[in-house]
Structure 1
């Protein structure tokens, strides 16, 4: 019957997809045995016909010719090295909770054979930073993305921590009214950047500290000229105020770090055989000064004087 043939072919595809790969092909006898376990009685000729139908449909079923032919699924949506890369990214992300990491890795394992899926059981050794516990963050991101695409405002509450590590809502549970423009990944955290009605300016919030996020019926506030990529490059640690042109005096071996931070279009000029200058537009904030400190004198601020003085004051705190 037609229904039985459709079920038979579906079972065949499922068997080949989940149980075969280049190193683990299946024989015709294996397929007949699997069909029998599913309550399907058939013969060898039907295996050949059904495999031909799968191939005509576009499934990459590879035949290994021998005294007893063997078959396996060749090309898949993702190759094994690509899946390993995705698993490593999921495992190492601090944005994704441990529970969600496990769920996603199991789902990725369903995109390959059972044998290859075992190779996805791998662990990335992180630098000691914990994963988050807020499972709602995925739905918050989805709501923010939807509001960006539809140009609608959102409302939300924001929480902070007491010295006892207890979470408390900021400003006694005040609901922020906000037009999101972009989600930005910064130092392994998600930030949403947009127009804050409370602050009446461009602002940003860490997504994992937002709660009770709702999309509003009101259209978003229009802000011309906002470029997320430019914003990320200029703003260290999400401090957008008072951008200034700063001249840095650098040793030659830090050119790679300057380009990594500011891009290949950064303005530079040679000073002498050992040094160069870089002119960058940044927010002179603690994260920026902290970045300068990490180079232990190999990058120094030359001007303007007010930024140099701020750096000196920060150094005096240490």
Structure 2
């Protein structure tokens, strides 16, 4: 037989029922709420349900009533709207560095933030079969350890890909191209300086007792500017590069370099040019080539020669 429960336990159970079993399309009337409480071995009188709902409303829960035939109560407002949860699910599924196993666990937890009926819509979100996913099951632990080290101002040690152990001073974490990167100062090897490391390629991340170094280097560090200069996060010598582009690429260049560069239109209106700092790498050259001749490196001479030599080598390779 159902037993009389304490008021707090009853309120929590009633709230959970409203969270899981109701939304704007799925309502529960008082007899149904009484029945669902009894299924959880909680005795409830119909009159007490009205009082309980008023109590939950006074605590800030947006419980609405639709009167008439087929009417009932539902939880109208939640921490996340369904559309927001769909965006989060898509982000988890799209991430290359979140393993399939971890993705499934995270999405299951997101489902708990909406009704059971809306949760089925999260499962039906677009998923590209075969999308590359990391096989790292320790990513979340690595991120947690790195955050702890950054907050405590401590150095870290980790194994990186197949290149052995690294000891660096962590300063920031960044999300770029679907991957987490650690932005750190390294002085193990010459030249010392700011480097980035993909977090999903780390293992055995350990927070050390030594205070991190590189304070002077990071005093004026600008993370957005750093990300704009590094194409696909590859390093290289930094140059002030002049790019000449066709007029239709203005929005694409703004997407890449932001609002800072001054775009100078040329007299015929068909082209514009601008200067930006770039860490020049084969990835940068590949980005330029990807526009099919609509982007030209006009300066400096050594960068212009670099892209010329790469294109010549590719042409020879594909003869």
TM-score normalized by the length of structure 1: 0.91
Who is 1:133 aligned against?
135
Query: Residues of 1 paired with 2:278 and 2:193: CA distance?
Result: 18
Who is 1:227 aligned against?
222
Query: Residues of 2 paired with 1:68 and 1:312: CA distance?
Result: 73
Query: Residues of 2 paired with 1:127 and 1:14: CA distance?
Result: 34
**CA shift for structure 1 position 3:** 5.2
Who is 2:85 aligned against?
83
Who is 2:26 aligned against?
24
SS in 1 for 2:122: coil
Query: Residues of 2 paired with 1:283 and 1:145: CA distance?
Result: 27
**CA shift for structure 1 position 67:** 6.2
| Unmatched segments (≥5 aa) in structure 1 | 161-169
After the TM superposition, which segments of 4 or more aligned residues of structure 1 sit over 3 Å from their partners?
125-129
Say whether residues 1:309 and 2:305 are aligned partners. yes
**CA shift for structure 1 position 68:** 7.7
- Once structures 1 and 2 are overlaid, which stretch shifts more, 235-244 or 13-22? 235-244
TM-score normalized by the length of structure 2: 0.91
**CA shift for structure 1 position 260:** 1.0
Q: 1:250 aligns with which of 245, 249, 252?
A: 245
**CA shift for structure 1 position 317:** 1.8
Query: How many residues of Structure 1 are paired with residues of Structure 2 in the alignment?
Result: 306
Does the CA contact (< 8 Å) of 1:180 and 1:194 recur in 2?
Answer: yes
Who is 1:166 aligned against?
none
Who is 1:159 aligned against?
161
**CA shift for structure 1 position 129:** 4.2
- 1:29–1:127 distance in 2 versus 1, CA, 3 Å: closer
Query: Residues of 1 paired with 2:43 and 2:127: CA distance?
Result: 49
Could you say what the CA RMSD is over the residues aligned between the two structures, in angstroms?
1.8
SS in 1 for 2:296: strand
Who is 2:180 aligned against?
190
**CA shift for structure 1 position 7:** 2.1
Who is 1:215 aligned against?
207
SS in 2 for 1:26: coil
Does the CA contact (< 8 Å) of 2:181 and 2:196 recur in 1?
Answer: yes
- 1:127–1:117 distance in 2 versus 1, CA, 3 Å: closer
SS in 1 for 2:145: helix
